[in-house]
Structure 1
Amino acid sequence: MSRILGGQDIIAIGPDGSGKTTTYILSVLSGLKFNVPDAPKVLILAPDQECVQAIVDQFYLISKNKDLSIIGLRAGGSMEQEIEKLVDGVEIVVSTPNRARAVYLKLGLNLNLIHTIIIDDAEEVIKNGMITPVKELVQSAKKCQHLVFSTVEHEKLHQMIDGFMVSPALIEVEELAAEKLNVNDMFLYQVPNFTTKINLLNSLMLDNEVFDKVIIFVNSKLTAQKLGKSLHRKYNDEIVIFNPLFFEDKSISDIELFKQEDAHRILIVANEGTEVLDLSGIPYIFHFEIPENNDTLIQRIIKSNTEEQLSFTFATDLELPEIKKMEHTVGQKMEVLDLPEKLSIYSAKKGNTSLIDDDNDGTRGAAFHQKKESNSKTYNYGAGKKAKMTMKKKKG
């Protein structure tokens, strides 16, 4: 709070419910002079209409002032009434970036007197594809304080804010559940995009001595079909799809048959339309995509018997918020693994792939931001070696 009141730019990282919104509301209220408003002094950007309304309601709840000079812009519809209110004078404007930009271009939003711009739920703003309007609004405002609140810090966040943040203070709140759930060993690969996920999976599956029985979860049957065709041809005889979308795909409808059949090494399962499966006896579980329901992921990693099972998750920057929520629930963090040195990283800009160890020019993609010193390691084990070491340690 003291840094905010001191006018410093802030990047605040913390889980939902950690008090981020309350903190900036208190700072905004303490800075208001409650004079007759002319042009807005504070612009708050939120990812959707629901968040906009929740922020406005929270302002009224905390201030207990029904005459508070604040407006929440609708995400769509006519702008005329909103522009009239803005012209009459409002101190605090809460809006989605798209709506604020649209009203600004209609000359209805005066940014000349803005002294604070706040981006709430920044990770969701990015996920909703509103990076460009955020940048345009900030550039249109004169010199002011910038406060950015997010559940996760990643490269896409920095791509959005680094151009306008001035010597920001990074404040992180790590909150995990007080009670740790008994879960299997969890490992996380951070990757920039879907294609690189496929490249990574192909790279890992080359080690058939370690990954001798694997289940790979995706979200849809269409993705399951696409992934099955995208894996190396050498795996064709080893891959089966659980209740596939198309009859011509090599399929299986009973997980027990997969466990018993030695020729079947890789089972691809779509979360879509699939009931809870008995995963006992499967040493390696891969989440190629983050399930839409976080409870689905948690249910699969909870240790249900004495057998050792390792869980690997692939996540892009946009999926990291769901990982944070899961970690908060189970009371433990996933161990982040380094990507293989020779992994081909797909670049949408270039339309091709590059080797990770050749990519030192800052274009590795969204997930490749510099590690914090506290998280950096002096070793680099591949997933196969890590799996061997973990299993060996568990078995004593």
Structure 2
Amino acid sequence: MKFEQYRIAEEIKRSLEDQGFKKPTDIQYKAIPSILKGDDVLAIAQTGTGKTAAFAIPILHMLHVQHRARNKGAVKCLVMVPTRELAIQISEVFKQLGKYTRVDIMGLYGGVEQEAQIKKLQDGVDVLIATPGRMFDLRAQGHLDLSHVQTLILDEADHMLDLGFIRDIRDIIRHLPRNRQTLFFSATIDEEIKDLAYSIVRNPIRIQISPDNPVSKNVNHSVAFVEMDDKRFFLERLVREYPENKILVFVRTKVRAERVAAAMERVGVKAIVMHGGKEQQDRLAVMQEFRKGDVKLLITTDVNARGIDIPNVEYVVNYDLPEETENYVHRVGRTGRGMQKGQAVSFCSTEEKPMLEAIEAYLGKKVQVMTISKDDYQQTIRFSEEVPNDNWQLLINEHEEAMKNAKRKKKKK
């Protein structure tokens, strides 16, 4: 079934066509009809399956055809998300899909001045995508009215529980109308998630996509056994070998992120850093640079492991293996999205081998080992130490020129 066959507003079909979306993904195919009927939905879907559009498309349709007047400070659809980055991203998806509709959309999150947000709320909004902190602040100040919410959407619900937002969720629900539609989206399901879900949904339609395969089949996994102090040399080598590829590198802490970036800068590799210690404007600027491809190497913590859609990431590098096995799945989900292929490369030191075993147990399979001989290992380290930084580009240019000359000779033959 194609999107043009769905009974949704022509304005939404037009925006889908603009973006080249012709057929729904599995989660979209299963969720959209139920949401349009007004059913509560409990959806378990791995990252990269298109779940944002699965709820954005029907919500935009219902609000567009409804076209009711907005009440001061009131919200018709509330989307609760765990992080600022996710709030910004989902807002953009709603705006892109709803650009030809009458639906008013707003992202609400901390890290920025609240005056502009208060002004925007005064006339009411149709869809509010919000993080709990700022939402509670503005509701307590009397700027946000939740008594008119028709649809509540909890996205990345498992991550919200991990961050300790369960009390906030339950508190918010007390301020919402009982007669509402609730959509509950999560990448994983366990007893705690079930308890929360079934306490807020009514006879939901349950949808589960690829429950036995937590990671996209488009991702190729490999691991290299590299000692902690040597990882920077192998990262440099990877970047040198694939200079045109977008590489997203995950480390364990903010300090590590800054140190790895500094190590790359010392050898002439341009890198940008992203972590929770950055100011919101800096975080937005970094994400924009990486999305556009202005800088090909982004070093980050797990702040970017969940839900964030960064186009055309060819490599995800686990510079440090994650302590939480589920975070491996969320990290590598940043590549191999949609129909694209992706590579997930992990650097595993001796002390991290128990983490690798836990990840393999979670995946239900072994991760392919990249065999590195002693000579190759030492050569990688010497390669970085022996070549002056200012000669890198010269070497690359010489290599490219040699390749061109070789091609010319072949053509002449």
TM-score by length of 2: 0.45
Structure holding more helix per residue: 2
